[in-house]
Amino acid sequence: MGILNLTPDSFSDGGQWLDPSAAIAAAHRMIDEGADLLDLGAESTRPGAAVVPVEAELDRLQPVLKALRECGVPLSVDTRKPEVMRAVIDLGADMINDVEGFASVEAINAVRPSSVACCVMHMQGEPQSMQQAPVYEHVIQDVKNILAQRTERLQSAGIDASRILIDPGIGFGKTLDHNLSLLAHLDELSDQGLPVLIGVSRKSMIGALTGRSVDARLAGSLAAMLAAVRAGARVVRVHDVAATRDALTVWSAIERAA
Ligand code: HH2
């Protein structure tokens, strides 16, 4: 899953794709490099990020979504606002990626009448404050329980399990140790065997482990990505599609020979 942030302030690629024609070109480049789907986001959720009004979020998304409708890969939209969900579904989005994990009835109602896939992500707290003091009794069990509650509510609302992915939300209200435990135990996150999506690309946990700045975290991101795939991740959300594709090609050839 290639990341396309249509934002001025995303932590690693903020401002690069604000111009729709640059964003559309970047999307085609990621598809050429082997992306199987794209995730379009118009509001940064990095720690401390400002909330973007609905109109501004839609103004950023609409031209890019319209231009990419026929691009040949499914389009996910990373949003936590029900109004934005409804509008992008009307524009042909294939998946809604909600970092609030469809916590609100409004979010559930926004996806219910459609056939879009739903990525249910776990976040403790709010982006403005989530990294201040995240606390869990037992991080894997706690995240698993919240994800199970959320996915059960979606299913009770009539959304089939085949439409649902889960994501432990690396860096969303988690310390380095929480992130590492979750990455090592991805296979334990769902009793139903729901597919796991993981986003670790260039994140601060890579910086904490390697001491590298955001623009020098590719090697660390690839290592985390492969570890996540080995632990059961089915979709990896990444900025560097070509390098990720190469790493996966080599790693899976070795796995097949084992
Ligand atoms: N991470 C980010 C945003 N959305 N969605 C899912 N499902 N999983 C993630 O791990 C995830 C996500 C944060 O990364 P990025 O989009 O690169 O930055 P920003 O939030 O600053 O735009």
Q: What is the pLDDT of residues 14-26, one digit of tens each?
A: 788 889 999 999 9
CA of 45 to the centre of ligand 1 (A): 6
**What's the whole-number mean pLDDT along residues 152-172?**
98
Residue 128 pLDDT greater than 80, yes or no: no
Nearest CA to ligand 1 atom 8: 199
Handedness of CA 16, 19, 25, 31 (dihedral sign): positive
| Number of folded domains that form the chain | 1
Does the annotation mark 203 as catalytic?
A: yes
Q: Give the per-residue pLDDT at 17.
A: 84
- pLDDT tier for residue 11 given thresholds of 50, 70 and 90: confident
Share of the chain above pLDDT 90, in %: 87
Q: Is 183 in the pocket of ligand 1 (CB under 6 A)?
A: no
Residue-wise pLDDT for 44-72, tens only, equals 988 878 889 999 999 999 999 999 999 99
The CATH number for 69's domain is 3.20.20.20
Query: What token pair was written down for 222?
Result: 């690839």
Q: Give the per-residue pLDDT at 126.
A: 83
**Ligand 1 atom at shortest distance from the alpha carbon of 201:** 17
**Ligand 1 atom at shortest distance from the alpha carbon of 44:** 22
Q: Is 244 in the pocket of ligand 1 (CB under 6 A)?
A: no
Residue-wise pLDDT for 181-198, tens only, equals 999 999 999 888 999 999
Q: How far apart are CA 238 and CA 236, in angstroms?
A: 6
- pLDDT tier for residue 5 given thresholds of 50, 70 and 90: very high
Nearest CA to ligand 1 atom 3: 45
Catalytic residue among 81, 144, 203, 217: 203
User: Residues with Cβ < 8 Å from 96, sequence gap 6 or more?
Assistant: 76, 77, 79, 85, 88, 89, 110, 111, 116, 117, 118, 119
Residue 129 pLDDT greater than 80, yes or no: no
| Full-model pTM | 0.96
Dihedral class, residue 250 (left if φ above 0, else alpha if ψ from -120 to 50, else beta):
alpha
**What's the whole-number mean pLDDT along residues 215-240?**
97
Residue-wise pLDDT for 74-94, tens only, equals 999 999 999 999 999 999 999
CA of 199 to the centre of ligand 1 (A): 7
**Ligand 1 atom at shortest distance from the alpha carbon of 199:** 10
Q: Is 41 in the pocket of ligand 1 (CB under 6 A)?
A: yes
Please give the residue range of the domain that contains residue 208. Answer: 2-257
Q: Give the per-residue pLDDT at 12.
A: 79
Nearest CA to ligand 1 atom 11: 199
**Ligand 1 atom at shortest distance from the alpha carbon of 169:** 10
